[in-house]
Amino acid sequence: MTHKIIMDSDPGIDDAVAISTALTDPQLELVLITTVAGNVTVDKTTKNALTLVDFFQKDVPVAMGATDPLIKKFEDAARIHGESGMAGYDFPAPTSKPLAKSAVLALRDALMASKEPITLIPTGAYTNIALLLREYPEVKPKIKQIIAMGGSLGRGNMTSAAEFNVFTDPHAAKIMYNAGIPLVMVGLDVTLKGRISDETTAKLGELGRAGKMLHDIIGKDFDHDETGTAIHDLQTLFYLECPEAFETKDYWVDIITEGPAVGETVADIRAAYHDGKTNAKVCVDIDTKAFNDWLLHKVKDNMQA
Nearest to 215 by CA among 204, 228, 199, 226: 204
Q: Are 65 and 34 in contact (CB under 8 A)?
A: yes
Q: Are 62 and 22 in contact (CB under 8 A)?
A: no
So which residues are the catalytic ones?
A: 232
Strands 118-122 and 3-9: parallel
Distance CA 54, CA 52 (A): 5
